[in-house]
């Protein structure tokens, strides 16, 4: 019964979405307050209906109602409760419903928290948001209905793909979607501003919290996905430049660029047209990501079974959204008030550099990801673009980016002296140089590139610390005075410092683990021993283990260093019956300095087992760094000055007066 209720709620939400997509928008054009006022209750109702539908599907999963096709195909009564719940979005239909839920939640959040928004802007934003909702709800209703019944009712379900039965992946899609869909807010604000023909610093401040929240979630979502790939897939890798990964990375790059360019709009009333374009592109890339993942047009190492008919729907939707918004942009952007001019050497100049580099990175990854599709469509030749391409472009873009990231915060707005800023950073430069020389001189296998990477990490970390020290007048004022100033540093500034430091930590993890990792892939018999980095792995034995819904082959490795036992590692090869599938459960011993990683594979019938053993220095910092970045975003988000809806639009559209400290 509840399933029919859910289906009905989705149909109602679809109707409400159409209404909300038209009436407030038309009201804003006609200046009709009553029509515009419809947006708020409609947004709340739409959210309530989708939440009800989502709740109904969740109940069907939790109670293992196998009369529902979706539940029967993706769940099993023997599955642990966590995965019954996460199974709701562990499949195509359910993940779309989650998408719609988050989309309407964002709409409802604007309706509730956007009380300071001008009435017309708010009405337009709610309408645009709702029009996106129309697309997704139609998609659910017409091609991907999660509420379809199944006759006859099977006695048990087919089970969730065991690779997805994992805490990391249980929460990866919700975070990723919060990020993807959060960018729809920036999109809705951008389109509303285009219709209105007005972008000013107040607009930038309204968009900022949404973009920032989306960016934080996207950062966490990507990090979770990468972490999952690292420990669950059992090949010791954490990023493969795979289309599915790129699909989430491109919106992140665009959102990062948007965060930075919106600052220029806010502080200097410049870069307006570009910022609008970025907002449109960031969300378009989110949609493109969904299309690539859901349509299966690209061969991905992460591919799940897909359905081309659904891909066609998303492609059409993508064409409408991207085509429509870009057409509107082409028509209206020239009418925006011209942007202010500025010096290339200035804070805003450095933010433009950031945007250029991020845009080139996004464009290159887009090219590399879509080129196989284009070539296939044009010539029928099948190609793939591998990691070497992406690595080749990532490094030359990352180097100037990392250099500039420490210098840019030192530059003043409007007009700055590059020389002075660089001179102020002498401690960072000195530390970086020392790090570079030490790495080259004292470390085995140190390439020039690795040394450069470590040097840049030190440069950016010390540079970020210096930024904080300077704001607190450390060493220049009495300690008490410094501490007082320290406490008054705006949270948004902490956000920037943490964000930049987080990047440095990610780079540290990447450079160190790629340069100094040891990898042994070989068939081992129990009793054999092998050196991996400074550690000795002894393959002691194999045994059988039973889990709640699988049986497993468990290997046992005694890990020693200088003849001292460090750890006993027990990787498993798990065999699930529903669905019949085998997964590798790596044993990982992480700490701040290095990860030890071991997997055991199928026996070779001669007493040997395929094993993979890794020693990965500093690899955890890749994910810890991402966590620091997201934390920075959260700090910035909590800044009182940027609370959702806090700013008021200045009457003339002139830059709002800034509190001291920026």
Contacts with other proteins by CB under 8 A lie at 161, 163, 233-235, 296-299, 301-308, 341, 343-344, 352, 356, 360, 363-364, 367-368, 371, 381-386, 388-389, 392-393, 396, 521-523, 573, 579-584, 599, 601-602, 604-606, 608, 610-612
**To the nearest whole angstrom, how small is the minimum distance from the Cβ of residue 642 to other proteins?**
29
**To the nearest whole angstrom, how small is the minimum distance from the Cβ of residue 372 to other proteins?**
8
Measured from the CB atom, is 135 or 372 closer to other proteins?
A: 372
Measured from the CB atom, is 116 or 582 closer to other proteins?
A: 582
Q: What radius of gyration, in Å, describes the C-alpha atoms of the chain? A: 26
Cβ atoms of 653 and 196 closer than 8 Å: no
Measured from the CB atom, is 383 or 448 closer to other proteins?
A: 383
Cβ atoms of 604 and 610 closer than 8 Å: yes
**To the nearest whole angstrom, how small is the minimum distance from the Cβ of residue 300 to other proteins?**
9
According to DSSP, the residues that pair with 556 across neighbouring strands are: 541
Measured from the CB atom, is 319 or 374 closer to other proteins?
A: 374
**To the nearest whole angstrom, how small is the minimum distance from the Cβ of residue 262 to other proteins?**
19
Question: Is 590 in a helix, a strand, or coil?
Answer: strand
**To the nearest whole angstrom, how small is the minimum distance from the Cβ of residue 367 to other proteins?**
6
Measured from the CB atom, is 302 or 540 closer to other proteins?
A: 302
What's the CA gap between 131 and 17, in Å, rounded? 7
Tell me which H or E stretch contains 585.
Answer: strand 580-585
Cβ atoms of 215 and 260 closer than 8 Å: no
Question: Is 269 in a helix, a strand, or coil?
Answer: coil
What's the CA gap between 207 and 649, in Å, rounded? 13
- Note the Cα 532 to chain centre separation in Å: 33
**To the nearest whole angstrom, how small is the minimum distance from the Cβ of residue 353 to other proteins?**
9
Q: Virtual CA dihedral for 597, 600, 601, 607, nearest 10 degrees?
A: 140
Measured from the CB atom, is 38 or 552 closer to other proteins?
A: 552
**To the nearest whole angstrom, how small is the minimum distance from the Cβ of residue 356 to other proteins?**
6
Measured from the CB atom, is 244 or 287 closer to other proteins?
A: 244
**To the nearest whole angstrom, how small is the minimum distance from the Cβ of residue 661 to other proteins?**
29
Measured from the CB atom, is 463 or 571 closer to other proteins?
A: 571
Give the dihedral sign, CA 290/295/299/300.
Answer: positive
Exposure of 309 by Cβ count < 10 A (0-12 exposed, 13-18 middle, 19+ buried)? Answer: exposed
Measured from the CB atom, is 420 or 602 closer to other proteins?
A: 602
Distances (CA, A) of 287 to 92, 314, 334, 651: 15, 8, 26, 36
Exposure of 248 by Cβ count < 10 A (0-12 exposed, 13-18 middle, 19+ buried)? Answer: buried
**To the nearest whole angstrom, how small is the minimum distance from the Cβ of residue 382 to other proteins?**
4
Nearest CA-CA partner of 184 in 140, 144, 134? 134
């Amino acid at each position: 019964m509840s399933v029919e209720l859910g289906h009905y709620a989705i149909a109602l939400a679809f109707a409400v979405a159409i209404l909300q997509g038209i009436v407030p928008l038309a009201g804003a054009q006609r200046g009709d307050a009553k029509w515009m006022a419809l947006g708020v209750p409609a947004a709340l109702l739409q959210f309530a209906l989708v939440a009800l539908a989502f709740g109904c599907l969740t109940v069907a999963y939790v109670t293992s109602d196998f009369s529902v096709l979706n539940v029967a195909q993706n769940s099993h009564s023997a599955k642990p409760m966590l995965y019954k719940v996460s199974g709701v979005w562990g499949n195509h239909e359910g993940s779309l419903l989650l998408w719609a839920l988050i989309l309407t939640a964002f709409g409802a959040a604007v309706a509730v928290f956007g009380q300071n928004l001008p009435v017309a802007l708010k009405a337009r934003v709610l309408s645009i948001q709702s029009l996106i909702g129309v697309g997704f709800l139609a998609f659910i209703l017409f091609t991907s209905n999660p509420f379809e019944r199944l006759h006859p009712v099977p006695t048990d379900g087919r089970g969730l793909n065991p690779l997805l039965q994992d805490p990391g992946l249980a929460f990866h899609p919700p975070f990723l979607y919060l990020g993807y869909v959060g960018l729809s807010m920036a999109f809705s604000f951008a389109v509303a501003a285009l219709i209105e023909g007005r972008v000013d610093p107040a607009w930038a401040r309204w968009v900022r919290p949404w973009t920032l929240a989306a960016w934080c979630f996207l950062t966490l979502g990507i990090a979770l996905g990468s972490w999952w790939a690292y420990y669950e897939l059992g090949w010791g890798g954490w990023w493969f430049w795979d289309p599915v990964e790129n699909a989430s990375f491109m919106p992140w790059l665009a959102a990062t660029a948007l965060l930075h360019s919106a600052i220029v709009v806010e502080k200097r009333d410049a870069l307006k047209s570009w910022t609008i374009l970025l907002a449109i592109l960031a969300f378009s890339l989110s949609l493109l990501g969904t299309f690539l993942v859901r349509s299966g047009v690209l061969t991905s190492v992460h591919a799940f079974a897909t359905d081309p008919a659904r891909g066609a729907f998303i492609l059409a939707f993508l064409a409408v959204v991207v085509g429509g918004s870009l057409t509107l942009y082409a028509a209206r952007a020239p009418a925006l008030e011209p942007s202010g001019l500025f010096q290339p050497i200035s804070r805003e100049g450095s933010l433009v550099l950031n945007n250029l580099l991020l845009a080139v990175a996004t464009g290159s990854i887009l090219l590399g990801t879509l080129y196989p599709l284009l070539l296939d469509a044009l010539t029928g030749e099948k190609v793939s673009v591998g990691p070497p391409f992406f690595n080749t472009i990532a490094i030359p873009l990352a180097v100037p980016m990392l250099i500039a990231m420490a210098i840019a915060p030192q530059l003043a707005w409007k007009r700055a002296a590059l020389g002075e800023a660089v001179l102020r950073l002498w401690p960072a430069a000195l530390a970086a140089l020392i790090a570079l020389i030490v790495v080259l001189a004292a470390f085995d296998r140190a390439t020039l590139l690795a040394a450069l990477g470590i040097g840049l990490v030190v440069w950016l970390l010390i540079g970020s610390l210096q930024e904080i020290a300077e704001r607190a007048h450390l060493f220049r004022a009495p300690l008490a005075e410094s501490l007082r100033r320290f406490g008054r540093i705006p949270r948004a500034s902490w956000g920037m410092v943490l964000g930049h430091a987080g990047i440095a930590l990610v780079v540290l993890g990447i450079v160190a683990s790629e340069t100094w990792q040891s990898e042994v892939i070989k068939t081992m018999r129990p009793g054999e021993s092998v050196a991996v980095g400074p550690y000795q792995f002894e393959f002691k034995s194999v045994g059988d283990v039973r889990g709640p819904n699988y049986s497993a082959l468990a290997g046992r490795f005694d890990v020693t260093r200088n003849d001292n036992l460090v750890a006993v590692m027990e990787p498993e090869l798990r065999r699930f019956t529903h669905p019949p599938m085998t997964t590798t459960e790596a044993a990982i011993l992480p700490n701040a300095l290095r990860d030890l990683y071991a997997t055991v594979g199928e026996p070779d019938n001669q007493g040997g087992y395929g094993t993979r053993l890794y020693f990965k220095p500093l690899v955890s910092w890749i994910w810890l760094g991402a966590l620091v970045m997201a934390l920075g975003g959260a700090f910035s988000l909590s800044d009182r000055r940027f609370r959702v809806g806090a700013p008021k639009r200045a009457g003339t559209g002139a830059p709002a007066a800034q509190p001291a400290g920026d």
